[in-house]
Amino acid sequence: MPKAAYSEEHRERIRNELVTVGLELMAKQGIQHTTVEQIYKKVGISRTFFYSFFPTKEDLIVETLYLQQPRIIAYVQKLMSDPDLSWRDAVKQFLHACCYGEKNGIAVLTIEEQQLIFKRLSKESYQIFRQKQLRLFGEILESFGIKADTPRISLFTNLSLTAMVVRRAIPDTLPLFVPEAADETVDFQLDAIVDALEKFKNTPTS
């Protein structure tokens, strides 16, 4: 069936399905190991038709990251409301799940993927991405019971993303790091982040 035969409503459904399937595959097997071909074949459309929705794979990746943001917030809130978890345990479990995203259905960008996306995004799209990122990490802090001002959000963003990307980068991107100590390194980093967040929690902003 030619593309002209698709109504706007039908095209929107297909687009949403591409993003949903893309997120499922990327979260499960990693963004780098997920191909455009895997996505459009699972949705049941052609390669040419796929590119009428997304000019590049990177454009689709950004949309999948936007899709998973409310899911991440829901997961945080679920952990924080779990009566069997202490505040520290809930926060660390969330951060740990993000660091090992492929085991927990969370898509996490590698260093290389961040560089590719940055090069592909227009200035306007980049600003939108940063705004959504700021809002996401601010909502995570608020879910932790921490007053989220811009300096705190910025620091939390850098600390948590550092732990995530370093874990994903050992040993392929960071070959001089010691892979045998990767898990212990992540655990140490997460403990330090939770310590910092606990200080924020006990020290409200003025």
For residue 206, name the pLDDT band (cuts at 50, 70, 90).
low
Q: What is the pLDDT of residue 205?
A: 64
**Residue 89, CB half-sphere, CA atoms under 13 Å: how many?**
8
For the stretch 4-21, pLDDT in tens is 567 899 999 999 999 999
Residue type, 55: P
Asked whether residue 147 is assigned to any structural domain, the reply reads yes
Q: What share of the chain is helix, strand, coil (3-state, %, to 5)?
A: 75, 0, 25
Q: Which of 109, 205, 116, 123 is nearest to 157 (CA)?
A: 109
Asked whether residue 25 is assigned to any structural domain, the reply reads no
Q: What is the pLDDT of residue 29?
A: 87
CATH of the domain at 180: 1.10.357
Cα Rg of the chain, angstroms: 19
Asked whether residue 178 is assigned to any structural domain, the reply reads yes
More confident of the two residues 41 and 2: 41
Question: pLDDT > 70: what percent of the chain?
Answer: 96
Question: What value does the mean pLDDT take over residues 58-84?
Answer: 96
Q: What is the pLDDT of residue 14?
A: 96
More confident of the two residues 3 and 60: 60
Q: What is the pLDDT of residue 2?
A: 45
Contacts 24+ apart (CB under 8 A), 29-34: 29/102, 30/102, 30/110, 31/61, 31/107, 31/108, 31/109, 31/110, 31/113, 32/110, 32/112, 32/113
Average pLDDT of the chain to the nearest whole number:
93
The DSSP symbol for 180 reads G
Q: What is the pLDDT of residue 117?
A: 86
Residue 194 has pLDDT above 60, yes or no: yes
CB 110 within 8 Å of CB 168: yes
Question: What value does the mean pLDDT take over residues 137-146?
Answer: 98
**Which structural domain, as residue segments, surrounds residue 95?**
57-202
Q: What is the pLDDT of residue 40?
A: 96
Asked whether residue 21 is assigned to any structural domain, the reply reads no
> What's the Cα-to-Cα distance from 20 to each of 61, 65, 83, rounded to whole Å?
11, 10, 31
Asked whether residue 110 is assigned to any structural domain, the reply reads yes
Output the pTM of the full model.
0.89
Q: What is the pLDDT of residue 5?
A: 64
Residue 184 has pLDDT above 60, yes or no: yes
Question: What is the residue whose two structure tokens read 């660091």?
Answer: 99
Asked whether residue 162 is assigned to any structural domain, the reply reads yes
For residue 3, name the pLDDT band (cuts at 50, 70, 90).
very low
Asked whether residue 41 is assigned to any structural domain, the reply reads no
Asked whether residue 159 is assigned to any structural domain, the reply reads yes
For the chain, how many structural domains are there in total? 1
Residue 1 has pLDDT above 60, yes or no: no
